[in-house]
A and B are shown apart, each in its own frame.
Chain A
Amino acid sequence: MSPSARDARLIWLLSASAVIASGLLLLILLFLAKEAWPVLSHIGAAKFLLDDGWHPTEGTFGLVPMLAASLAMSALAIVLAAPLGVASALFCRFYAPPLIGRIYRWAIILLAGIPSVVLGLWGLTVIVPLIIWLSPPGTSLLAGSLILTLMMVPTVALTTEAALAAVPQSYWSGAAALGLSREGTILGIALPATRASIFAGILLATARALGETMAVLMVSGNVVQVPKSLFDPVRTLTANIALEMAYATGDHRASLFVSGLVLTLLVLALAAAARHTGGQVVHA
Chain B
Amino acid sequence: MRVKKLSRFGIAVALFTTFSSMAHAAENKLVLTGSSTVAPLAAEIGKRFEERNPGVRVDVQSGGSSRGITDARSGLADIGMVSRSLKDEENDLKGFTIARDGVGIILNSANSVSALTDQQITGIYTGKITDWSAVGRKAGPITVVNKAEGRSTLELFLHHFKLKASDIKAQVVIGDNQQGIKTVAGNAGAIGYVSVGTAEFEAGQGTPVKLLGMTGIAASVENVRNGSFPLARPLNLVTRDEPSGLVKSFIDFAQSADVHDLIKEQFFVPLGP
Chain A residues engaging chain B, CB cutoff 8 angstroms: 53-58, 60, 124-125, 128-129, 132, 136-139, 217-218, 221-224, 233, 235, 242-244, 246-249, 252
Contacts and interface: CB of A to CB of B under 8 A. Distances in A.
Contact of B165 (A55, A124, A125): A55
Ranked nearest first, the 6 interchain pairs of A and B with the lowest CB-CB distance are A247-B150, A222-B173, A137-B143, A243-B148, A137-B171, A221-B172
In this complex, the member of A222, A224, A252 whose beta carbon has the largest number of chain B beta carbons within 10 angstroms is: A222
Contacts of A247: 36, 150-152
B187 A132 contact: yes
A120 to B, nearest CB: 10
30 contacts: A53-B166, A54-B149, A56-B150, A58-B164, A58-B165, A58-B166, A60-B166, A124-B183, A125-B186, A136-B143, A137-B143, A137-B171, A137-B172, A137-B187, A137-B189, A137-B190, A138-B143, A221-B171, A222-B174, A223-B170, A223-B173, A233-B173, A243-B174, A244-B148, A244-B150, A246-B175, A247-B151, A249-B36, A249-B63, A252-B149
A124 B187 CA distance: 10
Interface of B: 36, 62-64, 141, 143, 148-152, 164-166, 170-175, 179, 182-183, 186-187, 189-190
Contacts of B186: 124-125, 128-129, 132, 138
Contacts of B164: 58
Contacts of A223: 170-173
B138 to A, nearest CB: 14
A241 to B, nearest CB: 11
A159 to B, nearest CB: 33
B145 to A, nearest CB: 8
B76 to A, nearest CB: 16
Contacts of B152: 247
Contacts of A56: 149-150
A242 B187 contact: no
A157 B36 CA distance: 46
Given A132-B187, A136-B187, A235 B173 contact: yes
Nearest to A217: B175
Contacts of A235: 173
Given A60-B166, A124-B182, A125-B182, A222 B172 contact: yes
A243 B173 contact: yes
A218 B180 CA distance: 10
A57 B63 CA distance: 13
Contact of B171 (A129, A217, A233): A233
Contact of B175 (A132, A221, A242, A248): A242
Nearest to A138: B187
Given A221-B173, A247-B152, 5 more contacts: A129-B187, A217-B175, A222-B173, A243-B173, A243-B175
A76 B187 CA distance: 25
A150 to B, nearest CB: 19
Nearest to B176: A246
A249 to B, nearest CB: 6
A80 B172 CA distance: 25
A29 to B, nearest CB: 25
Contact of A249 (B64, B165, B187): B64
Given A124-B186, A125-B182, A249-B62, A139 B149 contact: no
A138 B190 CA distance: 11
A54 B150 CA distance: 12
A58 B186 CA distance: 32
Nearest to B37: A247
A132 B140 CA distance: 12
A283 B233 CA distance: 67
A139 B184 CA distance: 11
A54 B168 CA distance: 12
A225 B166 CA distance: 13
Contacts of B170: 223
A269 to B, nearest CB: 27
Nearest to A129: B186
B190 to A, nearest CB: 7
Contacts of A54: 149
A10 to B, nearest CB: 39
Nearest to B140: A136
Nearest to B146: A223
Contacts of A55: 149, 165-166
A242 B173 CA distance: 12
Contacts of A53: 166
Contacts of A60: 166
A279 B152 CA distance: 51
Nearest to B175: A243
Contacts of B141: 136-137
A124 to B, nearest CB: 6
Nearest to B185: A125
A111 to B, nearest CB: 23
A102 to B, nearest CB: 37
Nearest to A60: B166
B165 A57 contact: yes
A140 to B, nearest CB: 9
